[in-house]
Amino acid sequence: MALVPTTGADGAAVFTEVNMGSSDLSSTVRATVIQASTIFYDTPATLDKAERLLAEAASYGSQLVVFPEAFIGGYPRGSNFGVTIGNRTLKGKEDFRKYHAAAINVPGPEVDRLAAMAGKYKVVLVMGVIERDGYTLYCTVLFFDNQGCYLGKHRKLMPTALERIIWGFGDGSNIPVFDTPVGKVGAAICWENKMPLLRTAMYAKGIEIYCAPTADSRDVWQASMTHIALEGGCFVLSANQFCRRKDYPAPPEYVFTGTDEELTPESVVCAGGSVIISPSGAVLAGPNYDGEALITADLDLGEIARAKFDFDVVGHYARPEVLSLIVRDDPATPVCFTSDGSHK
C-alpha cells in the first residue's frame, strides 16, 4: 500500500491511498472513493472540482469512483435552519432558500454533465447529490455507467434527526442495484446502512459492490462497514467528506451550532474516515482521517464467491420458511391523475 501525494483543487496536498495487491487481473476492478469537501452554495464550482478529482482517479486506472453523501449541493453540517418546536426563523427560511438553490434537478443539466464526465473518463460513477423535486429536497445517489449513460438514482429512505426537516423520504421504487461493467452496484446512504431490512433487499438484488456514501466520521462507523461486508459477502466502499470550517461560508451567513468547541477556519468539522473493505472483512484501503484524499484499491471479484461459500445471507443461509421480507417497490405518490395513466 502506498500514499501518493498529489495536488488538490485548492493547491493543498491530496493523498491517494492505493492497495495494488491482486492475484487475478481478469477479475479485478480498480475502485476509488473520493474524500473531499463540497464548495458550499456553489454548485458549478463543486462540479468543476468533481471533474478534477474524477480525472485524477481515472489517471490511476480507476474503473469505479464513489463520491460522498451530498457532495453536489452540500451536507449542511452544523446548521439548524432556525428550527425549534413550534417556530421557524426568517434567517432559517432564507438558509433553506439558498440550500434549495444549490440543489439539482434529476434529470437536469448537472446530471447531463455528470454523465458526460463518466463517459469521458470511462468510469462507473456513483455521486451523492441533493436533489430538488419542486420545493422538496432529497438526499440522493446518482449512478452512471462508463459509457456516459445515467442509470438511475437512490433516494435516502430515512433522513436522520434534523435531516428530516430539510429532506424528503425516499420510497421502495428507488432501491436499485445496477448490473454494470464492474459488477452489480448499489448504494445506501449514511445511517440507512443500519437498516437491516434495507440491506436485505439489496442483498436479494445481488449487490456485489455496496457503496455507502456517508457523513459519519466516527470510529464506530468502521464497525458497521465491516459488518455489512461480512454479512452481504460484498465489497463495501464508504466515501465521506473531509471538511474544515473554512469550507463553509463564514459567519454570520453560516452559523455552526451543536458544538461547544470554538471553531477557527482551520477546525476540522468532518474528519472523513473513507474506507474500502473486502467481502472477508479485510480493510483494503483507509480509513483515512488525514485530509482530502483519493482512496483506491483493487477489488478481486473472486472474493465474493469465496466469502459466500461460508455465508450467503439470502441464499443457503436464509430460512424463508421462518423469516421473510416483503418490499413495497411501487412509487409512493401523493396525487394520481387518471388521465395520464398514473392511477392504477
Residue type, 204: A
Is 336 domain-assigned?
no
Nearest to 159 by CA among 189, 123, 198: 189
Q: How many other C-beta atoms lie within 10 A of the C-beta of residue 288?
A: 23
CA-to-CA distance for 281 and 261, rounded, in angstroms?
35
Domain assignment present for residue 258? The answer is: yes
Domain-embedded: residue 335: no
pLDDT of residue 339: 85
In this structure, what C-alpha cell is assigned to residue 307? 466469502
Summary count for the chain: helices (H), strands (E): 7, 18
**Domain range for 254:** 28-310
162 within a domain of the structure (yes/no): yes
Active site residue 69: yes
Distance CA 325, CA 318 (A): 11
> pTM of the entire structure?
0.90
User: How many domains are contained in the chain?
Assistant: 1
3-class SS of residue 207 = coil
Query: Nearest Cα to 66, choosing from 35, 42, 37?
Result: 35
pLDDT at 344: 55
What's the CATH code of the domain at 246? 3.60.110.10
Map residue 219 onto helix, strand or coil: coil
- Per-residue confidence of the chain (344 residues) as pLDDT tens digits? 334 444 444 544 454 555 444 444 459 999 999 999 999 999 999 999 999 999 999 999 999 999 999 999 999 999 999 999 999 999 999 999 999 999 999 999 999 999 999 999 999 999 999 999 999 999 999 999 999 999 999 999 999 999 999 999 999 999 999 999 999 999 999 999 999 999 999 999 999 999 999 999 999 999 999 999 999 999 999 999 999 999 999 999 999 988 878 899 999 999 999 999 999 999 999 999 999 999 999 999 999 999 999 999 999 999 999 999 999 999 988 888 888 665 55
Is residue 19 domain-resident? no
User: Is 253 in a helix, a strand, or coil?
Assistant: coil
Q: Name the active-site residue from 17, 56, 69, 192.
A: 69
73-88 burial code (b ≥16 CB/10 A, e <16): bbbbbbbbbbbeeeee
Q: What pLDDT is attached to residue 23?
A: 42
Point out which residues pair with 285 in neighbouring strands: 276
Q: Does residue 221 lie within any of the structural domains?
A: yes
Q: Which of 110, 116, 106, 187 is nearest to 145 (CA)?
A: 116
Query: Cβ(190)–Cβ(214) under 8 Å?
Result: yes
- Residue 7 belongs to some domain of the structure: no
Residue 306 lies in a domain: yes
Is 225 in contact with 192 (CB distance < 8 Å)? no
> Given this model, what pLDDT does residue 260 score?
73
